[in-house]
């Protein structure tokens, strides 16, 4: 394994400082984390992935909002239990940074339904996950994705060097959720509860005596504060809060 250079370490410290500076704002750890780490590792798509191991659901914050659609998230969840990185890291207190290719030969992985139904449509072939929080219910990781070039040993070493420091920043930023529920207003909490109950925007508007467009605006702010991108992910997060 190639040794990290002083330039690598300085760049890593700069990234950690940028993430730490952003931790004071709601959702700042997630947003600053994916932005700083994408450039440092050299990923084409970087996410903070929160996996609920009980419900087999993943919510994400990405450095390219909209890059993963609601439909694609549903497809991922379909294969959640058999994802190599979820299987390796889930409920594993000793989890370390791994690439999919560390767990499944690349030739075999591209033949799997997970690759052909999820990764191929979004144009991703290589993935590396850096776990920062693991318990019996949640797995929280920064995940780096590329279309063509694989993640090398040098990038793996850099990510693994950062891992304990990112885990500490994550705990200092508030723990399990990318953005704490405390930042939601009373009305946003109310809307989220009805979303989790399966109500449509029109239903919620009628219940609360508001316009559907107002409910849409509330949901946009809820998504941002919770660090999710879809209605399904917001409902899943509501059940964890």
Q: pLDDT tens digits, residue range 74-126?
A: 899 999 999 999 999 999 999 999 999 999 999 999 999 999 999 999 999 99
b/e 16-30 (16+ beta carbons within 10 angstroms → b): bebbbebbeebbbbb
The total number of residues shown for the chain amounts to: 241
What CA–CA distance (Å, rounded) separates 153 from 140?
A: 22
pLDDT tens, position by position, 171-185: 888 764 444 444 678
Start-end ranges of CATH 3.30.450.270 in the chain?
Answer: 6-172
Mean pLDDT computed over 176-205: 77
User: 120-174, pLDDT tens digit by residue?
Assistant: 999 999 999 999 999 988 999 999 999 999 999 999 999 999 999 999 999 888 7
The sign of the torsion formed by the CA atoms of 17, 20, 25, 29 equals positive
pLDDT of residue 1: 53
Q: Start-end ranges of CATH 1.10.10.10 in the chain?
A: 181-240
- Name 14's Cβ contacts closer than 8 Å, sequence gap at least 6: 36
Cα–Cα–Cα angle for 218, 20, 156, nearest 5°?
A: 105
The more confident residue out of 43 and 186 is 43
Q: If you ran DSSP here, which 8-state letter would residue 141 be given?
A: E
**Tens digits of residue pLDDT in 28-68:** 888 899 999 999 999 999 999 999 898 898 888 888 877 88
Helices 231-240, 186-196: crossing angle, 10 deg rounding = 100
Position 57 scores a pLDDT of 87
Topology of domain 6-172, per CATH? Beta-Lactamase (3.30.450)
Q: In whole angstroms, what is the distance from residue 117 CA to residue 150 CA?
A: 20
Angle between helices 201-208 and 186-196 (to 10 degrees): 130
> What is the DSSP annotation of 163-174?
HHHHHHHHHHTT
Return the CA Rg of the chain.
18
Q: pTM above the 0.85 mark?
A: no
Give dist(CA 118, CA 39) in Å, integer: 24
Its CATH architecture, for the domain 181-240, is Orthogonal Bundle (1.10)
- What is the mean predicted confidence (pLDDT) over 9-30? 89
Q: In what order do the strands lie in the sheet with 138-146?
A: 57-62, 45-52, 138-146, 126-134, 98-99
Question: Scanning the structure block, which residue is given the tokens 């998504």?
Answer: 223
């Amino acid at each position: 394994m190639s040794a990290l250079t002083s330039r690598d370490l300085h760049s890593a410290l700069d990234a950690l400082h940028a993430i730490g500076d952003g931790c004071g704002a709601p959702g700042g750890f997630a947003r600053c984390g994916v932005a700083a780490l994408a450039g440092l590792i050299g990923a084409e798509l970087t996410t903070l992935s929160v996996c609920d191991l009980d419900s087999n659901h993943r919510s994400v914050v990405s450095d390219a909002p909209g890059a993963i659609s609601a439909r694609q998230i549903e497809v991922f969840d379909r294969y959640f239990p058999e994802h190599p990185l979820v299987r390796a890291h889930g409920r594993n207190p000793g989890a370390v940074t791994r690439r999919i290719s560390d767990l499944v030969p690349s030739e075999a992985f591209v033949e799997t339904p997970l690759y052909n139904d999820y990764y191929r449509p979004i144009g991703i072939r290589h993935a590396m996950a850096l776990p920062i929080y693991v318990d019996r219910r949640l797995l929280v990781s920064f995940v780096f994705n590329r279309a063509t070039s694989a993640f090398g040993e040098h990038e793996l070493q850099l990510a693994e060097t950062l891992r304990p420091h990112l885990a500490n920043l994550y705990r200092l930023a508030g723990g399990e959720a990318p953005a704490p529920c405390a930042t939601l207003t009373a009305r946003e909490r109310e809307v989220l509860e009805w979303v989790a109950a399966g109500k449509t925007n029109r239903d919620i508007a009628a219940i609360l005596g508001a316009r559907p467009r107002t409910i849409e605006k509330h949901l946009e702010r809820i998504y941002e504060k919770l660090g999710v991108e879809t209605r399904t992910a917001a409902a899943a997060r509501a059940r964890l809060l």
